[in-house]
Amino acid sequence: MKIYIDGKFHDRGEAKISVLDHGLLYGDGVFEGIRIYNRKIFKLTEHIDRLYHSAKAILLDIPMQQAEMEQAVQETVSINAKVDGYIRLIVTRGEGALGLDPAPCEKPSVIIIAGDIQLYPQEYYEKGIAIITAATRRVPADSLDPRIKSLNYLNNIMAKVEAKQAGCLEAVMLNHEGYVSECTADNIFIISRGTLLTPAPHYGALDGITRASVIEISQSCGIPQRDTALTRYDLYTADECFMTGTGAEIMPVTKIDGRPVGDGKPGSMTKRFIDGFRNLVLQNNP
Ligand code: PXG
């Protein structure tokens, strides 16, 4: 495996960054997770756009243009001859001094890894997964905007640990007001009386790229859709529920806090979205 760091490729064992990098010391940085399907990078421009927006929001000046970044990602995929896989693109604050102040960090580090993705087993797509509501609340949007895909994932990791301890693979997180925000690494959708509903980003959700694809599919199918406020009541009374993300794609959720969603099986509209997403991938990455 060849890993890109600041313009050069290194073998996996030699790919190293400084222990004084603020990405490591403080989680000061941003990242993206991107899929490769059939040698082609899915939604690359959208991911690079989000990366630059995340960086701008934390006053991190990425030392290359977006087009150069796209080129570097393409090159990493080609050099590793990846057909299907996963790209982890990281921009850290860079090497600095001990202390929170980012000022001594002169140059952000750019790291690109093209590897394999850990996928959920196929049976979960057929049967759906069970999730819980985590007691860990999402960091408030006025403390850290959820649209920033930062290297600070402790909040989500704590909720993920709760899920695992409860024997589940994912957890849905509420914001500090008790509204549904998102899962630990996925957005959440419900279908209620034929309408597709998902929390707006200001309720504490990442502006997910898979989320945007699902909204696009709903528009092309004429399925009514709204970004809205959702509570646990809405989840418990939903006809269908699914989560979306680069890794999971579209995963039916069939149980929440031990309660079956709808009839406890993946719903027909969820299946339409799974098919629609598959077609979108095939169209983009033939
Ligand atoms: N919410 C959060 C908090 C995420 O981290 C999503 C929603 C879904 O967004 P996208 O743009 O992927 O549809 C994410 C994405 C990983 C990994 O390695 C995590 C994500 C994506 C890819 C890989 O854990 N999170």
Rounded Cα gap, residues 173 and 127, in angstroms? 22
- Cβ proximity of 205 and 243 under 8 Å: no
> Average pLDDT in the 117-130 region?
94
Closest residue CA from atom 23 of ligand 1: 33
Rounded Cα gap, residues 75 and 38, in angstroms? 15
> Average pLDDT in the 260-264 region?
97
pLDDT digits (tens, 9 = 90+) for 133-148: 999 999 999 999 999 9
Classified as helix, coil or strand, 193 is coil
Dihedral of CA 251/252/254/257: which sign? positive
> Average pLDDT in the 203-224 region?
97
What domains sit in the chain, N to C, each tagged with a CATH number? 2-115 (3.30.470.10), 122-284 (3.20.10.10)
Rounded Cα gap, residues 124 and 168, in angstroms? 12
pLDDT at residue 194 is higher than 90: yes
Is 0.75 topped by the overall pTM?
Answer: yes
- Ligand 1 pocket, residue 156 CB under 6 Å: yes
Query: Position of tokens 């222990």?
Result: 19
Beta bridge partners of 109: 92
pLDDT digits (tens, 9 = 90+) for 239-261: 999 999 999 999 999 999 999 99
pLDDT at 37: 96
Beta bridge partners of 171: 132
pLDDT at 223: 97
Dihedral of CA 263/266/268/273: which sign? positive
* 43 is an active site residue: no
The values of phi and psi at residue 239, to 5°, are -80, -35
20: exposed, middle or buried (Cβ count in 10 Å: 0-12, 13-18, 19+): middle
Query: Cα(104) to centroid of ligand 1, in Å?
Result: 30
pLDDT at residue 35 is higher than 90: yes
pLDDT at 118: 83
- Ligand 1 pocket, residue 244 CB under 6 Å: yes
Average pLDDT, the chain: 97
| Residue tagged active-site, from 40, 149, 160, 265 | 149
